[in-house]
């Protein structure tokens, strides 16, 4: 079977279309990386033949060496993936020395992986050490989350508290809270390192004035985290300055107890 017909390409094509329709991924905004096990890659590429090598520009963590990633291309539009996956996506293998990505499939017009690949790979490395089942890193530009970040200090306790106090689902879906980075230059190894540092404690990281990163075992999980943050940020922004019924601390604590969740410390004071 041809890789273009694989469930991996279908999953990424479907979710990029969906995210585009949410209004989060204007132009080339957003990127996704999907780690695929060698046994599945072998179904499509029994003999490893590389189309070309692409320099990473940094040295990938050892845990990522010889691992395969299906990754959106830089400058590519999410809305176009479904109609031409082979031009808009690429399947790469991280080299033995961690310096290069071997291209097995895709980037047909001579393209390369997203400019945010440092943040993706560094986040994959951190999440894999915590949870070997993590496969997805997803980055997007959800409107209300960006608005909310612009209205608040760049403080993850405050950001998380506002979310938890706005929607009862929030603490249940992300009890570890949202990591927050200040506005930084994107597409660099610096923002990659800063994002990965936050990923040690959080599966979601907000980039102030830019967007959000989510990690998950599968696309549903990463997307579900991001859409819950975004829905909650929408509630927060639409009620800003007019809230009469904020979720009481006792309800948030009750939800965490009911679901046996470990809450991010310092957000809600236990009485
Ligand atoms: P790429 O087109 O390089 O993926 O960049 C899009 C983006 O969202 C930058 O943060
Ligand atoms: Zn972005």
The rounded distance, in Å, linking the Cα atoms of 124 and 120 is 6
Q: In the prediction, which pLDDT does 270 show?
A: 72
Q: How is domain 118-271 classified at the CATH fold level? A: L-fuculose-1-phosphate Aldolase (3.40.225)
Residues with a known catalytic role: 116
How remote is the CA of residue 194 from the centroid of ligand 2, in Å? 15
How remote is the CA of residue 75 from the centroid of ligand 1, in Å? 7
* Domain range summary for the chain, segments of one domain joined by +: 1-115, 118-271
Q: Is 116 in the pocket of ligand 1 (CB under 6 A)?
A: yes
Q: In the prediction, which pLDDT does 48 show?
A: 86
The rounded distance, in Å, linking the Cα atoms of 19 and 36 is 21
In whole angstroms, what separates CA 206 from the centre of its chain? 10
Q: In the prediction, which pLDDT does 271 show?
A: 63
Give the H or E element holding residue 42: helix 38-44
Q: Mean pLDDT for each consecutive 10-residue tract of the chain (271 residues)?
A: 97 99 98 98 95 98 98 99 98 98 98 98 98 99 98 98 98 98 98 98 98 99 99 98 98 98 94 63
Domain 1-115 matches domain 118-271 at the CATH topology level: yes
Q: Is 28 in the pocket of ligand 1 (CB under 6 A)?
A: yes
Of ligand 1's listed atoms, the one at least distance from the Cα of 210 is 10
Mutational test site, ligand 1, from 78, 139, 206, max ligand atoms within 8 Å of CB: 139
Of ligand 1's listed atoms, the one at least distance from the Cα of 76 is 2
Would you tell me how many other CB atoms lie within 10 Å of the CB of residue 143?
Answer: 16
Alpha helix (H) residue ranges in 92-188: 117-130, 143-151, 156-164, 168-173
The rounded distance, in Å, linking the Cα atoms of 254 and 49 is 55
Q: SS3 of 153, please?
A: coil
The top-level CATH class assigned to 1-115 is alpha beta
Q: Is 209 in the pocket of ligand 1 (CB under 6 A)?
A: no
In whole angstroms, what separates CA 4 from the centre of its chain? 23
Within 8 A by CB and 6+ apart from 168, the residues are 247, 251, 252, 255
Q: Is 27 in the pocket of ligand 1 (CB under 6 A)?
A: no
Residue nearest to ligand 1 atom 1, measured at CA: 74
């Amino acid at each position: 079977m041809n890789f273009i017909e694989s469930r991996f390409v279908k999953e990424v094509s479907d979710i990029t279309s969906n995210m585009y329709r949410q209004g989060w991924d204007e132009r080339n905004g957003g990127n996704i990386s999907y780690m695929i096990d060698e046994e599945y890659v072998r179904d499509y590429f029994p003999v490893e033949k590389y189309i070309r090598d692409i320099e990473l520009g940094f040295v990938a963590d050892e845990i990522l060496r010889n691992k395969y990633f299906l990754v959106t291309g830089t400058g590519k539009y999410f809305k176009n993936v479904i109609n031409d996956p082979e031009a808009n996506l690429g399947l790469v293998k991280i080299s033995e020395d961690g310096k290069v990505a071997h291209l097995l499939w895709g980037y047909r017009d001579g393209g390369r992986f997203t400019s945010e690949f440092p943040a993706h790979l560094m986040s994959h490395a951190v999440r894999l050490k915590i949870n070997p089942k993590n496969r997805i890193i997803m980055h997007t530009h959800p409107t209300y989350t960006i608005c909310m970040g612009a209205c608040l200090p760049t403080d993850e306790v405050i950001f998380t508290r506002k979310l938890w106090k706005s929607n009862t689902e929030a603490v249940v879906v992300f009890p570890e809270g949202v990591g927050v980075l200040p506005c930084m230059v994107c597409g660099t190894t610096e923002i990659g390192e800063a994002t990965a540092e936050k990923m040690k404690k959080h599966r979601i990281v907000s980039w102030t004035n830019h967007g959000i990163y989510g990690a998950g075992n599968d696309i549903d999980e990463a997307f579900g985290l991001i859409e819950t943050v975004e829905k909650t940020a929408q509630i927060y922004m639409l009620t800003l300055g007019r809230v009469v019924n904020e979720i009481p601390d006792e309800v948030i604590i009750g939800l965490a107890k009911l679901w046996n969740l470990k809450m991010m410390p310092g957000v809600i004071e236990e009485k």
